[in-house]
Structure 1
């Protein structure tokens, strides 16, 4: 078993790659804040399988076969609990709100730093476990 096959390492690596890709989209949103008709974009957080550390395909969600059934956790009725309000649209048709984008960038940076720190500590712990401190 390779070191990179461990679920914790895989999940942390996936999280750091996601944060890196998200940072690029946030930067693109900020760069196009004055472009008429530009619509901001964002990435959906990856869902990870806790046992394998692999990303779970978003298309494999449970289906409601009856309106009387309770929706599975996280599937809800289409509302997003993190999104309190929609984007402001300026007369030029641009939907970028710089304050929101800066908040996302700061939050994304914190998430990346946390994942990188946990990744480093996991590697250090594994080195200690095999006797290579």
Structure 2
């Protein structure tokens, strides 16, 4: 079995890739802070199954306006304020720089933690095999 096949290392590797993708998206949010009509985006966190593999997240339709046709299993009435979670500036932009920068800092700290855990697990495996 290769070291890459261990569930913990696979989970950490998936988490590191997620943090990289999220950092790119958060940087795009900050870069478009002055773009009229821009809505900030974020990446959903990966979920892991019992075997340590990433589980794909299925998307379901969301009714964002009362004028939309409701899905067959939807029982929730949606008001028009559900889509307005963010403060909208006069330019029509919904990017809050303070909030985005806090997300960037937290993402960086989480990435460093995952990278440190990955490195320590590899060092522990090398020690167990007899290589330092």
Post-superposition, which runs of at least 4 consecutive aligned residues in structure 1 deviate over 4 A?
Answer: none
Which residue of structure 1 aligns with residue 55 of structure 2?
Answer: 56
Which residue of structure 2 aligns with residue 80 of structure 1?
Answer: none
Matched positions, count: 112
Which residue of structure 2 aligns with residue 36 of structure 1?
Answer: 36
1: CA distance, partners of 2:50 / 2:30:
34
Unaligned runs of 5+ in 1: 68-76, 78-84
Q: 2:19 matched to 1:19?
A: yes
Pair member with larger Rg:
2
Unaligned runs of 5+ in 2: 60-72, 77-83
Whether the 8 Å contact between 1:15 and 1:115 is mirrored in structure 2 is yes
Pairwise CA RMSD of aligned residues? Answer: 2.1
Which residue of structure 2 aligns with residue 82 of structure 1?
Answer: none
Which residue of structure 1 aligns with residue 91 of structure 2?
Answer: 92
TM-score (norm 2): 0.79
Post-superposition shift, 1:131? 0.5
Q: 2:129 matched to 1:130?
A: yes
Which residue of structure 1 aligns with residue 3 of structure 2?
Answer: 3
